[in-house]
Every structure is written in C-alpha cells, then in structure tokens.
Amino acid sequence: MANLASPSALGTFDNVDAVRAAYPMTMVEEKIGDLRELISKTPPGNSNHNTHIKDLVDWHKTKFSHTNDITDLEEVIKCRRVLLASVDTSHLHGFLPVRSLGFDLYMAFKCSNKMEYLDESITVLRGFLEMQCAQPFLFGLIEQLLASLFERLKLLGRTQDLDEIIKLFPLGVNNKFEKVSNRFAFSDVPGPAQRN
C-alpha cells in the first residue's frame, strides 16, 4: 500500500489538497486502489467504511485535478451518493455531503454538458433547503442553486426555473445568518439577460 500521510496528520483541508496535488499520478492511482481494497473489506455502516469512502472521494478529486477526465468526477459522484445514504440530517454538519454532491454534479455538467447532471444538481440542492441543520449555511447553498438554475434557464428557457429563481432571492437577502454586506450584494445579482 502507498504510504501517504492521512488528512488528520497534515492539518487543514487546503493543505491536504496541496500535498495531494503534488503526488505523481502513479501514487494517486495506487492510493485509490488501496482505498478500494479497504472499502471492499470493511462492512457498510461501519464508521471506517465511510471514512474510507470520504478518502476515496478526495483522491478521485485529486486525480481529476490532474486529468480533467470526467470519469474521475463520476467516481466522486458515485461515492458521494453512497455517503449521502448515511447522512444524519439533524446533525449540524449533515448538510455537507448534500452540498458537496450538488457542487460535484454541477461541475460534471460544466465538464460534459450532460443535462442530467445539472438536473440532479438542482434536485439535490433543492432538497438541502428543507434541512433544518442547513439553515445557518443557507446563503451559500442558495448561491449554488441559483448558479444551476440560471444555467438551465439560459439553456432551456424554462419559466419554472425563472419562478424558482425569483422565489430564492428573498431567502438569500433575508437570511439572518449571513452578514448584511453579503445580503446586500446578493440583492443586486444581475439577471440572466445581464449575464450573457
């Protein structure tokens, strides 16, 4: 097995990403193989199983940063879907896997232009609005959901998307958890006609 430092030993997530990006591709692929083997030997539901899947997500994202190959991002999405099944939506950070999956689906759409990724991104992020644990973090979600909706509106011209966009703006502007300056800037976001 590849002898690579664990994320907890390296400090912040940003530092881990920087360190991983420096690894040669052969080592990244070896680590992915090692994690797949560990996952196959660890029963689902076990906390180590989810930890290994989270690590696999990180290494596939590292590989994607090297290759820009959509199949690596698709592997990230598959892993995130597995993690989503075990999310405790009442926990303060229960929303993170949902938001991450929504973002990765949006990235997959931007890389592939496959509409199903954009549609699923919107569906996943929309579900996030309902999560009580997400309320303090709603502002960032709304920005992300709006990006997906504006993209689909631009491509398909669906009035339902425009209606949803209009309903989302007050949620961002009136979000009591966000700084007033960000809320004010949010209220002045240009519409799709101005973005072209």
- Low-confidence winner among 21-30, 75-84, 101-110 (lowest mean pLDDT): 21-30
pLDDT score at 111:
93
Q: Report the 10 Å Cβ neighbour count for 32.
A: 19
* Last residue in a domain, options 59, 86, 113: 86
Give the integer Cα–Cα distance in Å for 80 and 7: 18
**Same domain, yes or no: 146 and 79:** no
**Same domain, yes or no: 182 and 129:** yes
**Same domain, yes or no: 81 and 98:** no
* Last residue in a domain, options 86, 106, 133: 86
Quick check: 193 pLDDT over 50? no
Quick check: 45 pLDDT over 70? yes
Quick check: 1 pLDDT over 50? no
Quick check: 92 pLDDT over 50? yes
Comparing 190 with 122, which gets the higher pLDDT? 122
Mean pLDDT of 14-25: 66
**Same domain, yes or no: 75 and 166:** no
**Same domain, yes or no: 64 and 121:** no
pLDDT score at 10:
30
**Same domain, yes or no: 104 and 176:** yes
Assign residue 68 a region (left: φ > 0; alpha: ψ between -120 and 50; beta: otherwise): left
Give the integer Cα–Cα distance in Å for 42 and 5: 21
pLDDT score at 60:
93
**Same domain, yes or no: 134 and 97:** yes
pLDDT score at 6:
33
Domain count, the chain: 2
* Last residue in a domain, options 86, 106, 122: 86
| Residue of 38, 43, 41, 68 whose CA lies nearest to 55 | 38
Mean pLDDT of 48-59: 90
- pLDDT for 112-124, tens place per residue? 999 999 999 999 8
Q: Domain span at residue 98?
A: 92-196
Comparing 31 with 180, which gets the higher pLDDT? 31
Are residues 168 and 127 in contact, defined by beta-carbon separation less than 8 angstroms? no
**Token representation of residue 61:** 């994202």
**Same domain, yes or no: 31 and 63:** yes
**Same domain, yes or no: 131 and 112:** yes
- Low-confidence winner among 21-25, 123-127, 133-137, 168-172 (lowest mean pLDDT): 133-137
**b/e map of 50-88 (b: 16 or more CB within 10 Å)?**
bbbbbbbbbbbbbbbeeeeebebbbbbbebbebbeeebe
**Same domain, yes or no: 96 and 190:** yes
Assign residue 157 a region (left: φ > 0; alpha: ψ between -120 and 50; beta: otherwise): left
Q: Look over the chain and give the mean of its residue pLDDT values, rounded to a whole number.
A: 78
**Same domain, yes or no: 42 and 78:** yes
| Residue of 138, 25, 15, 18 whose CA lies nearest to 2 | 25
Q: Is the overall model pTM greater than 0.85, yes or no?
A: no
**Same domain, yes or no: 38 and 67:** yes
